[in-house]
Amino acid sequence: MKTIAIGVGENENIIQACHIFKEKHPKTNLKLIYRDKDMVQAVLDDKIHGVDRGSLPASNIMKEFKAVYPNITRATYVNGDEYEFLLTPVGIDEGETVEDRLDIVKNCIDFLKRLGKTPKIAVLAEGRKDDFGRGPEVSQSITDSEKLTELIKENTDEEVENYYILVEKAIKDGCNVIVAPNGRVGNIIFRTLVLLNSWPSYGAITFGMDKIYIDTSRDQSIEGYVRSLTLADELDNF
């Protein structure tokens, strides 16, 4: 029987989610984790097949993880009736450089191909192309987005387009990798789509470590936690 460790914090939706998940997956054992350090140990435990952060706070856990896995990054997996895509970066301190974001894109490509899907990549910026000059941060973001788009073309064989600030067009066009200008913008997009508008997220896939680790929001709904547990369970089969 496989075992998935799940973090339990202040949001008790996770407890109800565990009950629902067990009814649907009786052959998967759930190990409840209540402390940050035990979550880190679960990732290092060979007897545990996957780990879900659940409702534990992220800050201390990510610090501990990065001490062991310095290159970890995350991409939120959104999958509903109309849209399916990876949104990245979503960690507030991730994807700070163009090179960082290129590495994340490569991880997203590999993940989608494991699922048998063809990547279609959208690069975002903090303004439209003709907004260049409306402040140094906006201009730099536009320059970086154009550089990243070219690097993806040079280093992969996948379809990529610079949508600048038009995230809505990227989603409508069926892009399945959405690359935010940085992790803070990505996190805001995630909160707007998933936590405010209830788009179905399966949690964030974590790249750069050996263990399956699904990063979730401590504010997630019962249904959201069930989806993240389901993803951790299914990824163990790949």
Cα dihedral 172→173→174→175 (10° resolution): -110
CA neighbours closer than 13 Å in the CB half-sphere of residue 72: 23
DSSP 146: H
State mean pLDDT over 209-218: 87
For CATH 3.40.50.10750, the residue range(s) in the chain are 75-202
In b/e form, how buried is each residue of 67-103, taking b as 16+ CB within 10 angstroms?
Answer: eebeebbbbbbbeeeebbbbbbbbbbebbeebebbbb
For CATH 3.40.50.2300, the residue range(s) in the chain are 1-72+208-238
Do residues 94 and 104 touch, judged by C-beta distance below 8 A? Answer: yes
Do residues 106 and 156 touch, judged by C-beta distance below 8 A? Answer: yes
Question: 33-52 pLDDT, tens per residue?
Answer: 998 888 889 988 999 999 99
Do residues 7 and 14 touch, judged by C-beta distance below 8 A? Answer: yes
Alpha helices of 75-182 — where are they, by DSSP H? 98-114, 136-155, 167-172
Superfamily grouping for domain 75-202: Isocitrate/Isopropylmalate dehydrogenase-like (3.40.50.10750)
Question: 109-163 pLDDT, tens per residue?
Answer: 999 998 899 999 999 999 999 999 999 999 999 999 999 999 999 999 999 999 9
> Domain 1-72+208-238: which CATH class?
alpha beta
The whole-number pLDDT of residue 236 equals: 67
Rounded (5°) CA angle 228-232-122:
70
CA distance 121 to 137: 23
Q: What is the pTM of this model?
A: 0.88
